[in-house]
Structure 1
Amino acid sequence: MKRIGFFVSTLVLFTLVGCAPLGVKIGEEQDRGPDKPVDLSGVPDAEPRHEVRTSAGNRSPYTVLGKTYELMEDETGYREQGIASWYGQKFHGRKTSNGETYDMYAMTAAHKTLPIPCYVRVTNLENERQVIVRVNDRGPFHDRRIIDLSYAAAQRLGFAGQGTAQVEVEIIVPGEQAPVPLRDENAESTSDSEDAVAKDEPDASAFLQVGAFGSRAAAEAQQIRLSSLLDWPVVIHSNREIPVLHRVRIGPLETNQDVRSVREQLRKNDIEQTHIVHQ
């Protein structure tokens, strides 16, 4: 009887895995992060670029745990809020859905229906931290969860210790202006859209934020680089909470034309992700 039960369990597991794309994460033992503490605050965002999409990882429809999923035919404009989780050492070194090797220290992610590969910006709505990750895997196959991030991305977003977080996920199309965030750094701040700044003369406290870093040294390096490119002041604003986040900002900017001019100079230097804040 025990032999029969083992055979049935093995057959069921084989059937589930056989229906899923390469690399999908079927639940096993509890996942964990590195065996020793490691500071990943300096790991850079993934850099969006045009990539050829092949059939690897893009089978549609596909079935996992009895549920069928169909990939998005057009991901342009995709934006969603929900729960993010992360995966780490349990899958480190295994194959992702498109056949790449999963690295929990890289800025990658798994998504159920976005085409592979693609790039998304993920914002932790609890602390406003943001990262850009490259989607190269399938998951998480759990109700209510919309994205599974690498351990590095989760640590940079500040939720590696708690497992999940409420986030916003939005697609990034390489070479195009980033989608407008639903939320900005401060509750009263404006959106990223230039048209959203209604007045031609914004408040003198308007700044253009170009990055947020856990490492002060990384923020200072970005400040030095931007100062060499721009005629406007580049400042670092550090919060007083734990963990400390160092935000690199340009300004103050007095008019909408100033905002447009700064963004144009940044785009010429391949810096696309910016948003207006007030301090």
Structure 2
Amino acid sequence: MTYTNFLFIIVFIVLMGCSAQQGRYQHHHDSSPTRKPSAVELQDAIPRVEKKSRGGNRNYTVRGIQYEVLDNATNFKQQGEASWYGKKFHGHLTSNGEIYNMYGMSAAHKNLPLPTYVRVTNLANNKSVIVRVNDRGPFHKDRVIDLSYSAAYKLDMLKTGTAQVTVEAISNINQEATVVNKEKAHYIQVFATKNATQANKTATKISSLFNYPTKAKQESGYYKVHIGPIKEKTVITMLLEQLKTQGYPSAFTVKY
């Protein structure tokens, strides 16, 4: 074996070793994204009744510390330090098996059942946001919640990195919402088009923005983009208002 070949083999082994140690994340350190959240991305999460996720709701251990997951979030209120997480975790799985979107209104909590909707208020400026907890963390002493980039932006805490907050679970969704007639399912028709590709792309976009089932339904030669089914009138009203800001002022409700 020549000296050159020997060096080539050594370099190859070193590079392979470095590659194997990079871990699951593309970025070694967390950082801010290159753009600010849009107006739509700054909309609060819309609380709705959801079943517990199949993943992420068992008691667990991290770094030798045991954490107990609550059975429910009724009357839950907490005060402490909030942090946020961004590019390093964007596109990776959350604890309940969803994909983390740093532009979504989501959060991580050590003990709340997944998912749980909470109102987070920045005690320094009284700004608040409603987020959907779908992940575990933060695993740092004295921190109570880890917020998405958009949520942290809305609370005006990006410069400081952390903030003292209150976390209040929204656990009375059924009592606050006015349930619509159960005989027929209610949907919101966003728009209709004869272009199947456009309809499917719009359905994917709307579903990502509002975290509600959205699909393009073919009917009478048109592809109609529907959100739903939706049971609560209050949610329908909120979605219609948010769709206006997204450029769909003609959206309306339909029954099936």
TM class, shorter-length: 0.5 to 0.7
One-letter amino acid of the counterpart of residue 56, structure 2: G
Secondary structure in 2 matching 1:175: helix
Secondary structure in 1 matching 2:54: coil
CA distance in 1, matches of 2:146, 2:38: 17
One-letter amino acid of the counterpart of residue 54, structure 1: S
One-letter amino acid of the counterpart of residue 121, structure 1: R
**Which residue of structure 2 lines up, in the alignment, with residue 151 of structure 1?**
149
CA distance in 2, matches of 1:66, 1:107: 30
CA distance in 1, matches of 2:109, 2:163: 15
Q: Could you say which structure has the larger radius of gyration?
A: 2
Cα distance change on mapping 1:70 and 1:158 into 2, 3 Å: same
CA distance in 2, matches of 1:162, 1:105: 19
**Which residue of structure 2 lines up, in the alignment, with residue 121 of structure 1?**
119
Contact 2:115/2:132, CA 8 A, preserved across alignment: yes
**Which residue of structure 1 lines up, in the alignment, with residue 53 of structure 2?**
54
**Which residue of structure 2 lines up, in the alignment, with residue 137 of structure 1?**
135
Contact 2:37/2:103, CA 8 A, preserved across alignment: no
CA distance in 2, matches of 1:111, 1:95: 15
Which residue, out of 64, 68, 71, partners 1:70? 68
**Which residue of structure 1 lines up, in the alignment, with residue 95 of structure 2?**
97
Shift of 1:54: 3.5
CA distance in 2, matches of 1:176, 1:167: 26
Cα distance change on mapping 1:40 and 1:123 into 2, 3 Å: farther
CA distance in 1, matches of 2:77, 2:176: 14
Secondary structure in 2 matching 1:148: strand
One-letter amino acid of the counterpart of residue 72, structure 2: D
Shift of 1:149: 0.3
Consecutive unaligned residues in structure 1, runs of 5 or more? 1-6, 15-22, 179-266, 273-279
Secondary structure in 1 matching 2:84: strand
Shift of 1:73: 2.3
CA distance in 1, matches of 2:162, 2:28: 17
Contact 1:40/1:155, CA 8 A, preserved across alignment: no
Shift of 1:268: 6.2
**2:104 counterpart of 1:106:** yes
Moved more, 105-114 or 40-49: 40-49
Cα distance change on mapping 1:269 and 1:102 into 2, 3 Å: closer
Q: CA RMSD, aligned part only?
A: 3.1
Secondary structure in 2 matching 1:81: strand
**Which residue of structure 2 lines up, in the alignment, with residue 31 of structure 1?**
30
Shift of 1:269: 4.1
TM-score (norm 2): 0.57
Contact 1:108/1:135, CA 8 A, preserved across alignment: yes
Secondary structure in 2 matching 1:176: helix
Shift of 1:161: 2.2
Shift of 1:30: 2.8
What whole-Å deviation, never above 9, does each CA across 1:159-194 have from its counterpart, x for those lacking one?
A: 12221000000000223359xxxxxxxxxxxxxxxx
CA distance in 2, matches of 1:57, 1:104: 19
One-letter amino acid of the counterpart of residue 79, structure 1: K
CA distance in 2, matches of 1:38, 1:268: 32
What whole-Å deviation, never above 9, does each CA across 1:99-155 have from its counterpart, x for those lacking one?
A: 100000000000000000110000000011110000000000011000000000000
CA distance in 2, matches of 1:105, 1:121: 17
**Which residue of structure 1 lines up, in the alignment, with residue 167 of structure 2?**
169
CA distance in 2, matches of 1:100, 1:72: 20
Consecutive unaligned residues in structure 2, runs of 5 or more? 1-16, 178-231, 239-256
Shift of 1:39: 4.0
Counting aligned pairs with the same residue, the percent is 52
Shift of 1:45: 0.6
Q: How many equivalent residue pairs?
A: 163
Secondary structure in 2 matching 1:68: strand
What whole-Å deviation, never above 9, does each CA across 1:248-276 have from its counterpart, x for those lacking one?
A: xxxxxxxxxxxxxxxxxxx964579xxxx
